[in-house]
Structure 1
Amino acid sequence: MKKNITATTFTPIYDELEDRLRVVINYQDIQSRVDFMITRNFILNLIPSAEEFIAKYYGAVDFEISSKIETKDKFTSKTDNVNLELLRTNEELLTEVSFNYDVNSKKTVVTLTSNSIVAKADLDGFMLAQIFQVIKSAIPYIKWGISHHF
């Protein structure tokens, strides 16, 4: 049986040793924290799919962001890197991401799945776009040989 958690925070970082993105869900809550590892191939398929979904249900969103996200934004905050590493859990390989749009609430439930964990987040269009912008900003474009504009 898979463990179900509610995702409240998303912290993406590039793991150079694994050559994968690590997206830490709930990094400050050890009881519901999960470290999802995302392969290059998976992320290169996920980002365009997420952008297409957001455009379809929420309209055009500008996905170009600078490499540094302003910490003044009330929806983003600086990560406590000590807690990020100190509370590190076993990595879970992300195997599936699904989007379910609710017409009535105009929110989307994003479900991230590994072999043993299911993490869900109920997000409005702004938060959904912002999460994928932050994840996209962690991609090591030059190392992976891809354009910043993919």
Structure 2
Amino acid sequence: MTGVDEVSVVRGGEAVPAAPTAAFSCLGRHLGRSWATRSLAVGGVATVLDILTLLACVKLAGLPTPVGAGLGPQVLRYGAATGSAMLVHAVLVGWLADRVGVLVVLAKLAADVAVFTVGQLRLLRYVVFPRSAPRPRPRPPGFSGGRKET
């Protein structure tokens, strides 16, 4: 077999080109493993929760629309992440300035870089979007792995 396009099915004694289900199946598996697809799915669920929170705040609790819009799940995540980063930043500035003896302005700049640049990037890379274990890739038909078949 040389490709998906040449696959055919015999129906009623006549060869009919088969639907490209294998290609769609492969695409589906690829998309399911992609971090972008998972991220979009999580974003979709968060959007639904955000809209439900907005409607509950505005329609059920009678809050003004801007207040209801600001009270979604994102505000909790943002508050937790920012509060944690601010706490680590404050402790690091205090330690560098008071214990190590670094000038307070330099201590603040160093903590800014460490927490809000390097730390944030590492957090996103290794916690939010961790690299999954490599999966074996299927070999195409007739692939011998570099060895000559005899």
TM-score range, shorter chain: under 0.3
- From the two aligned structures, give the one with the greater strand fraction: 1
- From the two aligned structures, give the one with the greater helix fraction: 2
The higher-RCO structure (CA 8 Å, 6+ apart) is 1
Q: Give the TM-score, by structure 2 length.
A: 0.19
* Structure exhibiting the larger radius of gyration computed from Cα positions: 2
